[in-house]
Amino acid sequence: MKPPAPAPVHVWFALLPGSLALDWAGPAEALRSANAQLVAAGQAERFVLHFAAPSPVVASSVGVQLAGLVPLPGELPAPSWVIVVGMAGGDLDVSGDDAQQLLHWLRGLRLRQGQLELLTVCAGAVLAAHAGLLAGRRATTHHQHLEELARTEPRCDVVANRVFVADGALYSSAGVSTGMDLVLHRIAQICGPAVAAQVAQTLVLALRRGPDDPQISPFMANRNHLHAGVHRVQDAVCAAPQATWSVPAMADIAHTSPRHLTRLFLEHAEIAPLAWLRRIRLARAEALLHAGQNVTQAAEGAGFASDTQLRRAWRQFGRPGSPAHPPASSAA
């Protein structure tokens, strides 16, 4: 009997007149793409998108009229994300009726990790600060709004020079394209890093590590290229790292020779295919170890031929501890 599918995440884009189009459209496209990747793999969609505003029609930053917007909801199902975005220009003017209605609504939010989370893009952090949601929090925003954020909420620990900052149920990003970095990070947490890598590939996005991540996931590393054949291989291996993989087997997926595949990997992924495979298997093994499996089970589940092979890869890639005593957090 299959376990019940996890509840979808309801994502509420809270929009105002002049909201920066890329601040909300980029993350929305990333979430739409994640749903498409999941459906293609025979899984249920994980994100339900809503576009809400104090008024049913607002003009975006580029002048396009956004119509059919739903009212700011009185109740939010769990789990929900609220995404607040920035607006063009200098310091935010929050004196207007729409802005005041949004701030009043935001003040009623009771953030709780995994239940109701707030994601801010660009100067959306300033709006959250006006609503009193950033007191005692760490947050970032666009570099042009850092001082404004500090003035608006002196009790906020304003972090500069960060792609995004995670603080419990609050996630803040520096703005514009970094909103997609943040959403990719959240997609990886909800759907797995392989799905996030596929979304980045589809949207032709660079995979930048987040500021609070010690290192980028091996499932997402070596993917900042545009070669379709190499991406096909990486998608197939990430989907089943425990399978019997060899360079010829990978080359068949890329429709090329084994020698040429190695050249393609070195040129585009900047790593040899078998070395990359070992990284993926090591990440998978570490995840299995953290899930409670023993070393033998983790080695088999990740595709290693033996415990010894897993331990050898562990040392080769400089992982701290050992398979029997892995570190507390996993890069996978």
Arithmetic mean of pLDDT, 144-173: 93
pLDDT grade for 157, boundaries at 50, 70 and 90: very high
Q: How far apart, in Å, are the Cα atoms of 38 and each of 30, 85, 105, 114, 270? A: 12, 26, 32, 20, 28
Q: Residue 244: helix, strand or coil by DSSP?
A: coil
Residue 215 lies in a domain: no
Q: Do residue 44 and residue 168 come from a single domain?
A: yes
Q: Do residue 184 and residue 232 come from a single domain?
A: no
Arithmetic mean of pLDDT, 112-128: 97
Q: Which domain-ending residue is among 202, 217, 237? A: 202
Residue 331 lies in a domain: no
Domain around 41: 9-202
Q: How far apart, in Å, are the Cα atoms of 78 and each of 45, 81, 110, 222, 286? A: 16, 9, 12, 35, 30
* Range with the largest mean pLDDT of 115-119, 199-203, 222-226, 310-314: 115-119
Question: What kind and span of H or E run contains 48?
Answer: strand 47-52
Q: Do residue 163 and residue 44 come from a single domain?
A: yes
Residue 209 lies in a domain: no
Domain count of the fold of the chain? 2
Q: Do residue 183 and residue 248 come from a single domain?
A: no
- The token pair at 33 is 């793409």
Residue 59 lies in a domain: yes
Q: Do residue 233 and residue 128 come from a single domain?
A: no
pLDDT given at position 99: 96
Single-letter amino acid code for the residue at 128: A
What torsion, rounded to 10 degrees, do the Cα atoms 204, 186, 108, 71 define? Answer: 40
Q: Do residue 156 and residue 276 come from a single domain?
A: no
Which segments of the chain does DSSP mark as H helices, in order? 21-40, 97-107, 124-130, 146-152, 178-191, 193-202, 228-239, 247-254, 258-264, 273-290, 295-302, 307-316
The domain that holds 290 is classified in CATH as: 1.10.10.60
**pLDDT, tens only, 194-248:** 888 889 888 877 665 555 444 466 777 788 777 889 989 998 998 899 999 999 9
Are 313 and 282 in contact, with CB atoms under 8 Å apart?
yes
Q: Do residue 17 and residue 72 come from a single domain?
A: yes
pLDDT given at position 180: 92
3-state helix, strand, coil in the chain (%, to 5): 40, 15, 45
Q: Do residue 44 and residue 172 come from a single domain?
A: yes
Residue 220 lies in a domain: no
Are 314 and 282 in contact, with CB atoms under 8 Å apart?
yes
pLDDT grade for 262, boundaries at 50, 70 and 90: very high
Q: Do residue 113 and residue 180 come from a single domain?
A: yes
Phi-psi region of 93 (alpha: psi -120 to 50; beta: other; left: phi over 0): beta
The domain that holds 184 is classified in CATH as: 3.40.50.880
- The token pair at 137 is 């929090």
**pLDDT, tens only, 17-64:** 999 999 999 999 999 999 999 999 999 999 999 999 999 999 999 999
What's the predicted TM-score (pTM) here?
Answer: 0.76
Q: Do residue 31 and residue 91 come from a single domain?
A: yes
Arithmetic mean of pLDDT, 125-136: 98
Q: Do residue 66 and residue 162 come from a single domain?
A: yes
